[in-house]
Amino acid sequence: MPVAPSLDTTTLGLPFMDQAHDYFMDLLAQVLEADDDRVEPTWRALVDCAAADFAEEDRWMEATGFSSRKVHRMQHLVVLQVMREGLLQAHEGRWLQVREMAHQLRAWFARHAQSLDAALAHHLRSVQFDPADSSRREPAMV
> Are the C-beta atoms of residues 80 and 47 closer than 8 Å to each other?
yes
CB neighbour list of residue 127: distance below 8 Å, 6 or more residues apart: 64, 136, 137, 138, 139
Query: Has residue 138 been placed in a domain?
Result: no
Query: Has residue 7 been placed in a domain?
Result: no
Query: Has residue 135 been placed in a domain?
Result: no
Residue 22: give the domain boundaries.
15-126
> Are the C-beta atoms of residues 49 and 24 closer than 8 Å to each other?
yes
Query: Has residue 84 been placed in a domain?
Result: yes
pTM of the model: 0.86
Query: Has residue 56 been placed in a domain?
Result: yes
Query: Has residue 4 been placed in a domain?
Result: no
Task: Identify the pLDDT of residue 130.
Answer: 82
Question: Which CATH number is 41's domain given?
Answer: 1.20.120.50
Query: Has residue 49 been placed in a domain?
Result: yes
- 49 φ/ψ angles, rounded to the nearest 5 degrees: -60, -50
Number of structural domains, the chain? 1
Query: Has residue 3 been placed in a domain?
Result: no
Q: What is the average pLDDT across 89-93?
A: 95
Q: Considering the chain, what is the average pLDDT of its residues?
A: 89
Q: What is the average pLDDT across 88-117?
A: 96
Task: Identify the pLDDT of residue 131.
Answer: 81
Residue 6 pLDDT greater than 60, yes or no: no
Q: Distance (Å, rounded) from C-alpha 128 to C-alpha 136?
A: 5
pLDDT-above-70 percentage for the chain: 87
Q: How confident is the model at residue 117 (pLDDT cuts 50, 70, 90)?
A: very high
